[in-house]
Amino acid sequence: MKQMRVDGDTPYLPEEIIRNILKRLPVKSLIRFQCVCKHWKNLIQTPCFVADHLHHSTHQNPSLLFSCDYSREPLRLLDCEMQVREVQNTPLIDSFSSVRILGSSNGLLCLAAEQSDLSPSALLLWNPAIREVRQLPRTKTTIYVEDSLTVGFGFSPILNDYKIVRTHAESGYAISGVEVYSLSTNSWRKIEFGNLGAVRLLPYIVSANGSIFWHAFNLKKEVGEDSFEIIVSFDIATELFTLIPWPALCCHTWSGISRLTVYEDKLAMLYSHVTEDFQYYLIDLWVWEEQVDSSGNRWNWSKKYASSPYPCMLFPEPIWRNEIVGVDYGISMPPLVCVEHPCETGLAMLSEEPELGLHLFNVATNEIKRFDIHRHGVGSVVFNYVESLVSVGKILIEEPSS
């Protein structure tokens, strides 16, 4: 493109071209480039540019984040180039005895941090890319039994706001109260929880399209009954809870391992289970989508993918770049893979004794790849993550042009 000049001064590129170039750069470079000139600094800090950079990073540079619960081990990122690097903590995070990731959204991590066994966990919001961290105010209800708490974290594009949902339960783990934190107001408030009085939420959550989802148990049902396992949805904008039925799996989750995830921006479930002859393992992908069935139900589960038989038990983790992530913690069946010709099974064996064996099942091609994440073993938790410029401070809103 032809460069332009103003009054014979140094040639420059139109701002649209500059924005298009800058949004493709990593956050570390953008932080440095804010020192180039005041104009670039103001541009990089605008809400519109932050949103453009996040959109590009989400689709072009997604990462996987590896964490060990309640550990001082550093977080590790696996990027699109299949390179692993450590994430540097901030002094505030290092001041806690242990930290656990509760959720990940748009480059922000929601953390539960503990200083001692006698004090309740503090909640933090952290953007590792720009090294911003914020300790949230205490909730209105102080509970010391952490097993009775569940926390959800997500973003509402309708409100342009991040919210944290904190539930607490009485004996039997039935929900007895719900509080919601809003980043835009930096405050908590209690909300109604409707028909969740007989529901027990499990601690692992996913968020997508302005909603947070939990795997849950219906305490009015017996183990093994239909509708004992359900999914609870929380709409971040309306703050309403909805119950979603469990997919019709070939067998129940206590004979396999299930994991909520997101596939093509839709709620999905991964299910790892053994074959009938107990020789191999399979991973199935179910997606909750809008489609009217013969009974007139508008939303239904549909099975989108079934893996080829696999020789070891894999724990399903998030879907990353159209690939199902399975983690091998060493729970293996008798070796069934041809070592001399691993390509015949679609496997790329990169290590004989992995600390954490990571397996990627491509949903489109059914190709399987395997590699290792060193110094991460049993207890590792995997999250989708993307580097962003999103601040943990005040939510900024783009002023309308006059």
Q: What pLDDT sits at residue 347?
A: 35
Q: How far is CA 232 from CA 145, 152, 185, 268, 367, in A?
A: 22, 11, 25, 13, 33
Count of domains in the chain? 1
DSSP 8-state assignment for residue 133: E
Half-sphere exposure of 293 toward its Cβ, with a 13 Å CA cutoff? Answer: 8
The answer to whether position 269 is within a domain reads yes
The answer to whether position 174 is within a domain reads no
Q: What pLDDT sits at residue 164?
A: 96
- Average pLDDT along the chain, 402 residues, taken 10 residues at a time: 49 79 91 86 90 94 83 80 86 84 94 73 92 88 60 94 90 81 94 85 90 91 74 95 86 70 93 83 90 74 89 86 82 37 34 63 87 63 93 62 38
Residues 6+ apart with CB under 8 A from 69: 100, 101, 379, 381
Of 366, 317, 388, the C-alpha closest to 59 is 388
Q: What pLDDT sits at residue 189?
A: 93
Q: How far is CA 205 from the centre of its chain?
A: 8
> Do residues 26 and 378 make contact, with C-beta atoms less than 8 angstroms apart?
no
The answer to whether position 320 is within a domain reads yes
Strand bridging mode 199-208 / 187-191: unpaired
> Do residues 236 and 156 make contact, with C-beta atoms less than 8 angstroms apart?
yes
Tell me the residue range of the domain where 311 lies: 248-378
The answer to whether position 264 is within a domain reads yes
The answer to whether position 396 is within a domain reads no
Q: What pLDDT sits at residue 116?
A: 67
Query: Rounded to two decimals, what is the model's pTM?
Result: 0.84
How many residues does this entry show for the chain?
Answer: 402
The answer to whether position 389 is within a domain reads no
The answer to whether position 275 is within a domain reads yes
The answer to whether position 319 is within a domain reads yes
Q: What pLDDT sits at residue 374?
A: 65
> Do residues 148 and 170 make contact, with C-beta atoms less than 8 angstroms apart?
yes
Q: What pLDDT sits at residue 368?
A: 86
Q: Which residues pair with 242 in a beta bridge?
A: 233
